[in-house]
Amino acid sequence: MGAALQVCARHVLALTCIRTIMVDKRLRRRTPVRLKQIRGVAEEIGNWLGEEVDLTGFLEQAHYQETDLILVDRIPLAMRIEVCGKMGWYPTLKGISAWNVERSWVAVDEGAIPFLRNGADCMGAGIHIADPSLGEGDFVWIRDQETGEPIATGTAIIDGERMMSMTKGKAISTIHWVGDDLWNLEV
């Protein structure tokens, strides 16, 4: 009887832990904001993009899995993450698509795509084209070589020029990818 209770207690504890983890996957501190309240965010993203950011629509600021987000019309377009030891605002994959970002990218072949969609770091051998202006530690987005669609975002482990000549090893540490919790977030 004691062993049965012990197993049951472990099962209940495991379920409690699972429920706790699931609770953390909700948007928290979701508040409507005006553009003037997040003008600094828009400027920071605009500086990274090299052009002005369009943040027209219903704006909200939220917190999701230890990441601050900016939602435009209930779509997460920007996230606050640490890059090069500094917290900063960068586009999510949906933001990259919405703003037609054309800088800080690498293109990978179709062999790398299934791994990237499962959250794997990007290996140098799969990279065919890279923005030569990329530096070590920069925010980078990964796209499909054929379609140009964004697949993942991350930070560069090495610079863009060396990425194109790599035959083995990691080139990008992945942060956010198609199919992760942030991508599947339904608001």
Beta-carbon contacts of residue 94 (< 8 Å; ≥ 6 apart): 75, 76, 77, 183
Task: Please report, to the nearest 10 degrees, the dihedral formed by the alpha carbons of residues 148, 154, 156, 157 taken in order.
Answer: -130
Q: Report the pLDDT value the prediction gives residue 4, as an integer from 0 to 100.
A: 46
Share of the chain above pLDDT 70, in %: 87
Does residue 159 carry a pLDDT above 70? yes
- For 77-109, what is each residue's pLDDT tens digit? 999 999 989 999 999 999 999 999 999 999 999
Q: What is the pLDDT of residue 154?
A: 97
Residue 24 — pLDDT band, cuts 50, 70, 90? low
From residue 166, how far is each of 56, 126, 169 by CA, in Å? 41, 9, 7
Residue 163 sits at the vertex; the CA angle it makes with 161 and 164, to the nearest 5 degrees, is 75
Span 41-61, average pLDDT: 92
Would you say residue 166 has pLDDT above 70? yes
Task: pLDDT band for 14, please (50, 70, 90 cuts).
Answer: very low
CA angle 36, 38, 43 (to 5 degrees): 100
Q: What's the whole-model pTM score?
A: 0.82
| Domains of the chain by start residue, with CATH | 27-98 (3.10.450.120), 105-177 (2.30.130.10)
